[in-house]
Each structure stands twice: as structure tokens, then as C-alpha cells.
Structure 1
Amino acid sequence: MAALRRKWAAPGLILQAAPRPESETAEAEIRIGFTASRKVGNAVKRNRARRRLKALAAEMIPHGANPGLDLVLIARPATVDRPFDELRRDLQQSLNRTKAARKTH
């Protein structure tokens, strides 16, 4: 299963994506986890980084990621102050690079 996991580091965030083993249907939900280590900063900065990642995920993941995935968004020190448009680009690039982006026809 570890061979199926993918990871991409962008300037504003790190994305880890893995298929859920029990998800065989196209309607499987996407599970998302968020983390910010002490490298990001003090508790205030870590909480702000997590809130920004949660807002970003709520906006982009439901319509932009394949169903049946486990995703983990990891904050980086730049997550706290990076403009939100650039965080959006970082997440889209990460979804594309990890092959987690939903295919549009």
C-alpha cells in the first residue's frame, strides 16, 4: 500500500495522497487531515496555518479531487503569510502532481 502513496511539496504546503483500500465505488468520500508542526511557529501561527488549509480544502477538494482518497495537508512556515491565491495554486499543482486531481472532460 505504501507504493500507492504520493507526496508533493509546494512552497505553501505539502500534500500527501493515498487511495483508500476499501473504496471501490466512484461515490467514495474523500478524507482529509491537517497538520502543522512546531516548525511552522508558535501555537497562534500553527492554528492560523491549519485554518487557512481547512478553508482552502473546503473550497477546492470537493470538486477538484478524485473520490476515494485519503489526503493530508501539511503546513509549512510559508503557509501562515502566503497570499491565498498562491496557496490555491500550490494546492492545485500538488493535486495534479500527485495524480489526485479530478479529471475534467
Structure 2
Amino acid sequence: MHPSLSVIRKRSDFLAANRGLRVARPGFVLLANPNGGKGKRFGITVTKKIGNAVVRNRMKRRFRELLWAALPEQGLPDHDHILIGREGGVERDFATLKDELSAALARASEGKGDRPRPPRHQRSRRA
């Protein structure tokens, strides 16, 4: 691993990143959020919707390699970078994923994210 990168492990950091920029690509969604001077950090999320443990772990290994290669040069300084695996991301060609990540990081560095997702559910308020 690159010395300037650290791994995000706390749920609160993942939830905080969800408030940042979101750039969707066919194989993954990139979240980028300022972290207040903690350096370049990354995290990976692959839900059980994607497949069994073997498939999910393979996807995480591929994402880890992509991030190690791309973040030191292309990553946003003092930002958290989260990759969320999408259906079909495992079958995608590694070179294609690499190009998509470069494009997504470039878009995030320009401050151009995709529109935010609507909230999943609203809690009813009692009067």
C-alpha cells in the first residue's frame, strides 16, 4: 500500500462520506468528501446484493488495487474516497474499471458530482 493512503474503517466516516460528491459509473459509485486534513483515505463497500462472499471479496480486492494505483496521483488531497460496488462490476474488464476510476476522480476534482440520491425513507412525524 502507498504510504500516503490510509483505510477508512469506522462506520461514521462512511456515513460522513455519503454527504460528499457522488460520481456514478457502470461498475461502481465513487464518493468523495473532505475529511478535515486527515490525508487521502479510502474505503470500499460491496453489499450482499452483489453476490456471495467469494464474488464480493474478489470485487473488493480489485477495487483495492485500483485505488492503490490511482489515488496517490489522482486522488483529492485531504478527502475520503469511497468505492461502492455495483451489480456487474466484477465482470468488467480491469483496464475499463481503471479508466472509469480516472474519469470519476477527474470529475470529482472539478467538483462535478451526479445529483444526490433522494432519501430512502421518511420517518413520519407525530404531532
Where on the TM-score scale, by shorter chain, does this alignment land: which range?
0.7 to 0.9
Say which structure, 1 or 2, has more relative contact order (CA 8 Å, 6+ apart).
1
Q: 1:51 aligns with which of 61, 83, 89?
A: 61
Taking structure 2 as the reference length, the TM-score comes to: 0.68
* Structure 1 residue 60 corresponds to structure 2 residue 70: yes
Counterpart CA distance in 2 for 1:58 and 1:100 is 21
Q: What's the counterpart of residue 8 of structure 1? A: 23
Count of aligned residue pairs for this structure pair: 95
Q: Name which one, 1 or 2, has greater alpha-carbon Rg.
A: 2
* Structure 1 residue 18 corresponds to structure 2 residue 33: yes
Deviation at residue 84 of structure 1 after TM alignment:
0.5
* 8 Å contact kept, 2:74–2:106: no
Taking structure 1 as the reference length, the TM-score comes to: 0.81
CA deviations over 1:44-98 (Å, ceiling 9, x no partner): 1000000000000011111111210011011112221100111011111211222
* 8 Å contact kept, 1:12–1:78: yes
Q: What's the counterpart of residue 51 of structure 2? A: 41
**Alignment identity in percent?**
36
Q: Which runs of 4+ in 1 moved over 3 A?
A: none
Q: 1:86 aligns with which of 85, 96, 106?
A: 96
Counterpart residue type for residue 99 of structure 1:
S
Q: Secondary structure at the match of 1:77?
A: coil
Give the alignment's Cα RMSD to 1 decimal.
2.1
